[in-house]
Amino acid sequence: MHRYEPAEIEPKWQRYWEEKGFFKTPQYSEKPKYYMLVMFPYPSGTLHVGHVKNYVIGDAVARYKRMRGYNVLHPFGYDAFGLPAENAAIEKKIHPRDWTMANINTIRRQIKRLGISYDWDREIITCNEDYYKWTQWIFLKLYEAGLAYKKMAPVNWCPKCMTSLANEQVKDGACERCGTPVTVRHLEQWFFKITNYAERLLKDLDKLTGWPEHVKTMQRNWIGQSEGAKVAFKVDGLDLEIEVFTTRPDTIWGVTFMALAPESPLVEKIILPELREELDKFLVRIMSQDRFKRGAVEAEKEGFFTGRYAINPVNGEKVPIYVANYVLMEYGTGAVMGVPAHDQRDYDFAKKYGIPIRQVIKPAHEISLDKAYDGPGVMINSGELTGTVVPDEMEKVFRWLEEKGIGKKTVQYKLRDWLISRQRYWGAPIPIVYCEKCGMVPVPEKDLPVRLPYNVEFLPTGQSPLMLSEEFKSTTCPKCGGPALRDADTMDTFVDSSWYFLRYVNPKLEDKPFLKEDVDYWLPVDQYVGGVEHAILHLLYSRFITKVLYDLGYISFDEPFTNLFTQGMIYKDGFKMSKSKGNVVSPDEMIEKYGADTLRLYILFMGPPEKDAEWSDAGIEGVYRFIKRSWNVISEIISLEETGTQEYSEREKQLLRKLHSMLKKITEDMEGGFKFNTAISGLMELINAISDYMSEVPREKWNTKLLKECAEKFLLMISPFAPHFAEELWHMMGKKESIMLENWPQYDENALKVEEIEIAVQVNGKVRDKIKVPANADEELVKQLALSSERVRKFLNGEPKKIVYVKGRLLSITC
Ligand code: ANZ
Ligand code: ZN
């Protein structure tokens, strides 16, 4: 018998699978399709076991689905553009492309060593021309549809990375990548009009029944729908109006001040000239505050009185207009009506600046006046609307405002348009040129790709290195042929990843990004697996681009991912793995020590895969012992002559039952959604049952036919998790074809049935009942069943004094 030598068998089977083309997916097949997608990695270094978890989960599903008769599409690629490559170029003096390609080669080799069943012919690298050409095509389609536009915009600016950042790349006011506090800059930027899709992106979440609830909640909160009204207040003495967005128009009689965002263009227009200088000082101070924190309820309120008053349209009252730090330019209209009695931020502001507080909503109970009341109640001191019950009768309030021409009901979203311009080199160039004569001109599709030049200077100047590249910048106008300049910005990498799942379907297609009939066949993705860190943006952007392509008629589905699974992280020593913490576990090291199959099994066995889990060396050792023991048990069974009778003994039936109950359990774990850890426990239980049988029953009495059946089914069931191990033993069994071509084993309900025997139950010496119990029932169970029999209970007076069990025949109760 050979020893278990993963270092020998794993590369052998990896070569075999590749030569046989078992991972390749035919474009069409008689079988039903199954698109199994894992989130592709950002190639910023080598993989650690935390990354690997994603791919191991995906592979277990892909291999299982193949065994269930599906034509499985299981592709892989790299999200290869982005900042880290460029930062590495500056720090290490390596070209971003060379750095990225070296990382890709490492990752590919790491993944191949794991035996993950990717169709490598479909590999995608987003920084290659044949991919980013189509990212540019997507830009053009949005541009043509009026969904890409340019505007001057304040952007989050990281002074260290020297680039603009999307809101989502700012964490607690600091750059997500380097932790430097973010400042504000004004630049001409490209935006995608995702806000046009806010309502659909929100509503269609209800269709996504295969998504985790927490992810949908995060998306809902990000989109942030609020119902309210827009109301205009005239500025006293000026021909100007301040429009506000309010969710509480029922409090309008309680307005005692107005507040503008410091960035509001209105500030300029209404400030009294004599206050201007002082205002500027105030603005400079506020602008340096964290734009994300200053709106928080807890944040210190700061304001500046403009010297002007607004007129409340419901009662003609004049109220002072302030500039206030807690009003954000990005939301609503960038102005609020201040109602201190019913909004806590307004309350704090009013207290600080001595502004009156006027209650206009009366709750059922008495309230204290030392904080704002924002609960339900009856409108008071509110003119014609006095007595209205809110929020129940809020519709009446909206109607009244609309009839009087004071306000208009609207829906407001927190979602902002998607800022896609990056002042960086390592991204897909924006396919736009600027001509002196014709102005802004899109690059025609036939001229794509707009190529990224290789030779540029990587100086952190705050401008794109492409600005300094003559080779790149100067071009001719596609319209008039005159001299023109290219847009020097590149696209956010989230654009690259917002459509890659479409490209996998026909990754080598030259004249189109994808074929409609093919993507309509393969998509939506049946199962998407990835980290919860992408729960908001990547998924939202992918859903947006899918809806745009649907509206433009390029595809026939409007949601890209039917089922989503978010895996938990692997921690080491209580922390997220990171190079800087020095707590990274490398898959290569683990493969050298234990083999890929043990690593794969251990990752899946660590706990429910959606939960975070802590890496444990003892844990992987335990799984290694299990796999070696399984190896020994199964290779011993393989070496036996096949003998065995048709009639099973009770002991054999017991083993057969265990086999079928595990077949049933493991199948349910696989079908019931990612319960790999309990499926693997089931496999452990099965191996234990097999080896118990082999040690309890004398060798010459072994039913080897039964043992071989157990071994075969065990290998089939472990093959999605430990494929090399299963393939090796499968061939040792004398099978000619790969285990990859086998079907998932079925269980037999009949084999699960436990035989029953009859037990006589005596009470004080007389037989009172005969009960049926499972043949293998122990004394405890027989007692329980006997004592729950009505007929027996009738004859019991009080607690039984003594119970005697004669195994398999009789239970005698004395009371
Ligand atoms: C008056 C009022 C009275 C308000 C009241 C609330 C309670 P959500 O639910 O998040 O949509 N608001 C509007 N625009 C703002 C901005 N740009 N910056 C800061 N605050 C802004 O919140 C809507 C409420 O937030 C609006 O309703 C407005 O205050 C404030 F008893 O108007 B409310
Ligand atoms: Zn021109």
pLDDT tens string 273-309: 999 999 989 988 887 777 667 878 888 999 999 999 9
- What is the residue with the minimal CA distance to atom 1 of ligand 1? 246
Residue 477 Cα to ligand 2 middle (Å): 5
Does 88 score more than 70 pLDDT?
Answer: yes
Instruction: Mark the binding-site residues, compressed into ranges.
Output: 579
Residue 467 has pLDDT above 70, yes or no: yes
Which residue ranges have their beta carbon within 6 Å of ligand 1?
226, 245-248, 251, 261, 295, 326-328, 331-332, 334, 336-337, 339, 342-343, 374, 412
**Which SS3 state, helix, strand or coil, does residue 165 take?**
strand
Report the distance separating Cα 608 and Cα 557, nearest Å.
Answer: 32
Q: Which amino acid is at 695?
A: S
pLDDT digits (tens, 9 = 90+) for 151-201: 987 777 888 877 777 666 778 778 887 888 887 777 888 999 999 999 999
Torsional class of 625: left (φ above 0), alpha (ψ -120 to 50), beta (otherwise): alpha
Which of residues 581 and 715 earns the better pLDDT score? 715
CB-based contact 814:786 (threshold 8 Å): no
Name the 3-class secondary structure at 20. helix
Q: With 90 as the cut, is the pLDDT of residue 533 above it?
A: no
Task: Give the pair of three-digit tokens for residue 496.
Answer: 């690259």
Write out the two tokens for 794. Answer: 């009738």
User: Per-residue pLDDT tens for 2-60?
Assistant: 899 999 999 999 999 999 999 999 888 899 999 999 999 999 888 899 899 999 999 99
Ligand 2 center from residue 812 Cα (angstroms): 105
Say how far apart CA 254 and CA 347 lie, in whole Å. Answer: 12
Run of H or E including 296: none
Best mutation site among 343, 344, 401 for ligand 1, i.e. most ligand atoms within 8 A of its Cβ? 343
Q: Contacts from 696-700 at CB under 8 Å and sequence distance 24+?
A: 696/651, 697/651
Which stretches of 181-304 are DSSP H helices? 198-203, 213-223, 265-270, 276-287
Q: Which atom of ligand 1 is nearest to the CA of 335?
A: 17
**Minimal CA–CA distance to 686: which of 712, 655, 709?**
655
Cα distance between residue 66 and residue 74, in whole Å: 11
Ligand 2 centroid to residue 453 C-alpha, Å: 23
Atom of ligand 1 minimally distant from the CA of 339: 3
* Interface ipTM > 0.95: yes
Would you state the pLDDT for residue 734? Answer: 95
Check whether 333 has a pLDDT greater than 70: yes
Nearest ligand to the C-alpha of residue 475? Answer: 2
Specify whether the CB–CB gap between 52 and 76 falls below 8 A. Answer: no
- Asked whether the domain spanning 754-814 has the same topology as the one spanning 225-413, the reply is no
Calculate how far, in angstroms, residue 155's C-alpha sits from the geometric centre of ligand 2: 30
Nearest ligand to the CA of 441 is 2
User: Residue 725, Cβ neighbours under 10 Å: how many?
Assistant: 28
In percent, the amount of the chain with pLDDT more than 90 equals: 76
CA-nearest of 5, 57, 62 to 531 is: 57
User: What residue segments make up the domains of the chain, in order of their start?
Assistant: 6-126+497-576, 139-193+418-493, 225-413, 616-751, 754-814
- For ligand 2, the distance from its centroid to the CA atom of residue 484, given in whole angstroms, is 7
The pLDDT of residue 513? 97
**Which CATH number does 754-814 carry?**
3.10.20.590
User: Please, which residues bridge with residue 421 across strands?
Assistant: 491
Beta bridge partners of 13: none
pTM for the predicted model, two decimal places: 0.87
User: How crowded is residue 770: how many other Cβ atoms within 10 Å of its Cβ?
Assistant: 11
Q: What is the pLDDT of residue 242?
A: 97
Q: Which amino acid is at 466?
A: L
SS (H, E, C) 442-472: ECCHHHCCCCCCCCCCCCCCCCCHHHHCHHH
Give me the DSSP letters along 692-730: HHHHHS-GGG--HHHHHHHHHHHHHHHTTTSHHHHHHHH
Q: Minimal CA–CA distance to 662: which of 680, 647, 674?
A: 680
Mutate to test the pocket of ligand 1, among 226, 231, 248 (most ligand atoms within 8 A of CB): 248
Q: pLDDT-derived band of residue 367, with 50, 70 and 90 as boundaries? A: confident
DSSP 8-state assignment for residue 124: E
Window from 63-72, 176-185, 244-253, 781-790 with minimum mean pLDDT = 176-185
386/363 Cα distance (integer angstroms): 13
The Å distance, Cα 283 to ligand 1 centre, comes to: 22
| Percent of residues, the chain, with pLDDT higher than 70 | 98
Length of the chain: 815
CA of residue 478 to ligand 2 center, whole Å: 7
CATH assignment, 616-751: 1.10.730.10
Protein residue with least CA distance to atom 26, ligand 1: 246
Instruction: Give the annotated binding-site residues for ATP.
Output: 579
Q: Is the dihedral of CA 323, 325, 329, 335 positive or negative?
A: negative
Determine the pLDDT at residue 742. 97
- Closest Cα to atom 27 of ligand 1: 246
Ligand with smallest separation from the Cα of 485: 2
Mean pLDDT (whole number) for 692-705: 94
Identify which of 243, 245, 328 to mutate to test ligand 1's pocket (most ligand atoms within 8 A of the CB): 245
Residue 646 has pLDDT above 80, yes or no: no
Which numbered atom of ligand 1 lies nearest the CA of 329? 17
Q: Which of 327, 329, 336 to mutate to test the pocket of ligand 1 (most atoms within 8 A of CB)?
A: 336
Q: How far apart are CA 62 and CA 76, in angstroms?
A: 13
Angstrom distance (rounded) from CA 691 to CA 633:
7
CATH of domain 225-413: 3.90.740.10
Please report the sign of the dihedral spanned by the C-alpha atoms of residue 655, residue 661, residue 664, residue 669. Answer: negative
Long-range contacts of the stretch 464-467 (C-beta < 8 A, 24+) = 464/422, 464/423, 464/424, 464/425, 464/488, 464/489, 464/490, 465/424, 465/425, 466/425, 466/429, 466/490
- pLDDT at 1 exceeding the cut of 70: no
Q: Tell me the CATH class for 6-126+497-576.
A: alpha beta
Specify the residue with its C-alpha closest to ligand 1, atom 11.
226
How many angstroms is it from 637 CA to the middle of ligand 2? Answer: 79
Whether 776 has a pLDDT exceeding 80, the answer reads no
In angstroms, rounded to a whole number, what is the distance separating the alpha carbons of residues 52 and 41?
10
Most confident of 388-392, 577-581, 671-675, 750-754: 388-392
pLDDT at 757 (0 to 100): 82
Q: What is the mean pLDDT of the chain?
A: 93
Q: Which helix (H) or strand (E) holds 614?
A: strand 613-614
pLDDT of residue 462: 63
